[in-house]
Structure 1
Amino acid sequence: MKNIITLIILVMTLNSCAEKVVINREIDTTEYGKMLLGAQSFDQFQKEPYKDWYNESYKIYPTDKPTIESLKKAKINSYNITVFLGTWCEDSHRNFPRLIKILDETKFPKNKLLIIAVNRKKQSPNGEEVKYNITKVPTIILEKYGKEIGRITEEPETGYIEKDLLNIIKK
Structure 2
Amino acid sequence: MLTGALNTTELLAELARFPDFDGHYQVNMDIIEPLKSIQTPTEIIVIIGTWCPDCHRDIPRFETILNAINNSNIHVKYFGVDKQKVDAHGLAAQYEFSRLPTYIVRQQDCEIGRIVERPELTLEEDLAKILS
Normalising by the residue count of structure 2, what TM-score does the alignment of the two structures yield?
0.88
Superposed displacement of residue 148, structure 1: 0.6
Superposed displacement of residue 110, structure 1: 9.2
Q: Corresponding residue for 1:29? A: none
Match of 1:94 among 57, 73, 83: 57
Superposed displacement of residue 146, structure 1: 1.1
Q: Corresponding residue for 2:119? A: 156
Contact preservation (8 Å) 2:40, 2:73:
no
Is residue 127 from structure 1 mapped to residue 90 from structure 2 by the alignment?
yes
| Structure with a larger share of its residues in helix | 1
Query: May I ask how many residue pairs the two structures share in their alignment?
Result: 132
**Which SS does the other structure have where 1:116 is aligned?**
strand
Superposed displacement of residue 108, structure 1: 3.6
**Aligned in 2, Cα 1:58/1:77: closer, same or farther, shift over 3 Å?**
farther
**Can you list the C-alpha shifts for 1:71-102, whole angstroms capped at 9, x where unaligned?**
224x1773111100000000001111111110
**Aligned in 2, Cα 1:54/1:116: closer, same or farther, shift over 3 Å?**
farther
Which one has a bigger Cα radius of gyration?
A: 1
Match of 1:66 among 8, 18, 30: 30
Unaligned runs of 5+ in 1: 1-34
**Which SS does the other structure have where 1:168 is aligned?**
helix
CA distance in 2: counterparts of 1:54 and 1:76, whole angstroms: 37
CA distance in 2: counterparts of 1:90 and 1:55, whole angstroms: 6
Paired residue type of 2:96: N
Extract structure 1 runs of 4+ deviating beyond 6 A: none
CA distance in 1: counterparts of 2:107 and 2:26, whole angstroms: 28
Unaligned runs of 5+ in 2: none
Identical-residue share of aligned pairs (%): 31
**Can you list the C-alpha shifts for 1:42-82, whole angstroms capped at 9, x where unaligned?**
121353x53344995122x1111101212224x17731111
CA distance in 1: counterparts of 2:55 and 2:39, whole angstroms: 22
**Which SS does the other structure have where 1:36 is aligned?**
coil
Normalising by the residue count of structure 1, what TM-score does the alignment of the two structures yield?
0.69
CA distance in 2: counterparts of 1:46 and 1:122, whole angstroms: 19
